Structure 1
């Protein structure tokens, strides 16, 4: 299964950290926002990228895109746990 999600208000560095806390390991790329990164866990992988997006006039936010891949149940559970962590970061 492949699922792509976008998260605003967190850095790619923090997103990688969350995935590591969920059992993943940075296997390629960098934690910095200007480069892609691949994190792999048991039965799943996540590819992360980040870009600045305009939200209102000249105001911008970092948007981290994550492509989750793996078994259907594994990806569903991973996305749910990751989303909970990412939502707490902004609030």
Structure 2
């Protein structure tokens, strides 16, 4: 079992993970939205830029939240001692 991280390293990792999620959300919101006009082709009867704005961005946001929760749950579980308690 790996040794627990120091509180400073734990929170540094947490902040980096949050920053990565925010950066990815920014790229999805503004980056893909900026180039959506060039992505104009028909997809299931609608323009692809419509699908990107209406559904694709929401799915990416959902994946960001799920990914963050999964990584943090694994990190928190690795921090517990043999009795299942967080380090003092």
TM-based fold match above 0.5: no
Normalized against structure 2, the TM-score is what? 0.33
Q: Which has the higher helix share?
A: 2
Higher RCO (CA-CA < 8 Å; seq separation 6+): 2
Q: Which has the higher strand share?
A: 1
Normalized against structure 1, the TM-score is what? 0.33
